[in-house]
Amino acid sequence: MKVVDRRRTLPKHRTKKYQRGRAPDKITIHHSATAAGSAESFAGYHVHSLGWPGIGYHFVIGRNGTIEKCWDENVISFHTAGLNSRNVGICLTGRGSFSSSQLKSLVQLIDYLKKKYTIPVSRIKGHREWNGQRTECPGMDTEWVREKLRLLETPSLLKTGMKGPDVLKLQKKLESAGMLLKRYGADGVYGKETKQTVMNYQRKRGLTVDGITGPETWGTLLNDTDKA
């Protein structure tokens, strides 16, 4: 992940300034709606044409995948009407069709930010997905991004006889999904009770019922508990 710091070099308004707030608790994905461009050009438009204090985005990702950092994450900039507080704005250069390098950098950047600030996947959305927004931005299916992020959370395959923090995480996720471990609880041991609970969950969700927690079960479970 290549990040270039532009915070001190981008055009800024002579008198207006953005405020600083608390650490972010959500992330919004945008597109520039232009075939080309950079943080420099977007900042120039936002400042000189719109009269904003500075560029509206915290990060801009160019066609080659380079990430330009424009603001600290706690700066309350303008990018999502009515929801700018505690909201990191990430802009992809383009009109909805993005390069593989851009998408790779997008997932890596968001994964880093969500871990740094403990942001749930459910609070990572495209601009148009937030309430009250009238836009087609970012011109892509952002559920794809959320699915990639959930897969990055997925530990290795788990089965009977295994122990450790990954098993404990599984057990807590099962309980969050309403699948209680009544006898032993979340003890970090993949015993008979955990296997049976996994099978019950798999049956409930229409998955392969084998008592083994692989990618399919993990992905469904993380998706269910992220929305809870």
Q: How do residues 20-62 score in pLDDT, each as one tens digit?
A: 999 999 999 999 999 999 999 999 999 999 999 999 999 999 9
Per-residue H/E/C for 172-204: HHHHHCCCCCCCCCCCCECCHHHHHHHHHHHHH
Identity (one letter) of the amino acid at 119?
I
Q: What is the pTM of this model?
A: 0.77
Full DSSP string of 136-162? -TT-S-THHHHHHHHHHH--S-B-TT-
Neighbours of 19 (CB within 10 A): 11
Could you tell me the domains of the chain? 3-140 (3.40.80.10), 165-227 (1.10.101.10)
Q: How do residues 125-155 score in pLDDT, each as one tens digit?
A: 999 999 999 999 999 999 999 988 988 877 7
